[in-house]
A and B are shown apart, each in its own frame.
Chain A
Amino acid sequence: MKDGMDTDAEGYLTADGRKIGGVLMEMRNITLRFGGVVAIKDISFDIREGEIRAIIGPNGAGKSSMLNVINGFYHPQEGEVWFRGQKRGSVRPYDVARMGIARTFQNIALFKGMSTLDNIMTGRLTMTKTGLLSQALWWGKAEAEETYHREKAEKIIDFLEIQHIRKTPVGRLPYGLQKRVELGRALAAEPKLLLMGVVMDLSDRVVVMDYGRKIGDGTPDEVRANPEVINAYLGVAHD
């Protein structure tokens, strides 16, 4: 790392004493262009196991573009994405989901016509093994699999305390509950990496972007003290 805190291959301890592991995902010199517009310019950073990593920046900085690169929606023109020690080739979003990357959105993206339970169960679709025919006949294996995933989904429903809306179509739920269902759906996938489109103040390390560039990377305190970051958010004083 050329800037930020000292992080070795084995990981580090957070301020509150949590153990952060080795590198889970690494973005290497990512550049993403839409025609002549450079959305992301030569950005590198890593995400470690057990770490809460934030990407912040003013409007239009390229945060969502970066998440979409991680998700496989956008394919960067330059740079490499490494996940769990392997270079990722050209992948589609559903391949990325299968690798263990889940996501929640800033403006909720639930399946409005389906119940809470069904929404959460969709999080487990990547783990379904039985085929079309055995499901059509509801043979022992298909039914056993359904029951197994249902048990997992019910644990998440218990954890998020949304038992009472289990069978309610999510389109009828208020915003806060929808947010919880969306988190439930992401958790049901048992992801190695969870991307969340929300601002939160719990991060271990923070990447700061502005106009597609990375302008800072480090602990929240380090980032807060970084003059470039202050300039990006508050503007430069001219006197």
Chain B
Amino acid sequence: MTSPDLTTAPTPPASDPSRPGRRLDFGSFWDTWGITSVLVLLVLVAVATTPDFLAISNLQSILRESAYLGIVACAMTVLIINGAFDLSVGGQLALVSVLTLFAYGVGGTGLAVVTALAAGTACGMVNGFLVTALRVPPFVATLGMLFVFRGIAYLLTQNGPATLPYTEVDSPFAQIGSLNLALVPFPFVLMVVVFGLAYVLLRRTPTGRRIVAFGSSPVAARFSGVSAARIRFVVFALVGLAVGIATLTYITRVWTADGAAQDGFELSVITAAVLGGASLQGGRGSLVGTFSAVLLVTVLNDVLVAHGVDASYQNIILGTVLIIALAIDGLRTRFAGVNLLRRSFGPRTPKAA
């Protein structure tokens, strides 16, 4: 509770119980700051190898680009901590983008913003309904809705993609994506605010505590009076709301959307959350980690693009980074809390309870 990090739930006891208090070993460090250290290393490499990396416009571009991924990954982290995940966020983003552009055409900035938030939340509530009321497993429910949401977005854009006309470049709506507050891009500010709110939710509200408790042990949570259905419905709705917010920063940057928008977005989002330390078994996840992982992915892309690396290689590199991160995590869990070498070569001691 006194630790300075945002890690909502540390790893369950893998460490030596005889010396609690001082767990400054590689394991606990990696848990909290692992992916952040990798990000720092990557930035150092980027500064050294890419001449224009530190240019303000480049940094702004990275932060602006990371926002829509980060906002959704933040909510996804909360959902993964709760023990589920949402494969439909890509479909949601496409559908909400199309609807938002239509709404802007009809009622301007105000209606567009309201539409984005409402449509996103509605998508999340559909998922929540399927999972809690109809008891469809999250994997299947959200996989199905991915196709449904995208399908609807395709239907709505049969006569060509929805677009924001170029004449609207100075409208308040278009400003959402391009505005800078004291040099910091507004989308990034929005992302930081979302992470802050998620932190407060998880750490300081009964609902957040119940989200973590249910992800930690659904059975024990049930016997502690946690209503699984209510909690899970809320979290799915929050993911939808996050997609709504993310759409506002996304669509005001690309200005156009159809059913194919952001194909594969759901996997990038889950990748960021898992890179950040979220466990798909539930109970465990880190908002700091996800935040760093989102920036890591964006910086990596930026650097690779700057060096003219082909998009296929970008995918290969991202996949490799994900696997290396989880391999370190797996090895760390196995040897956690002890001097790795001493334990490996020393006499076998009984496993700590």
Q: Are A and B interaction partners?
A: no
On A, residues with C-beta under 8 Å from B are none
On B, residues with C-beta under 8 Å from A are none
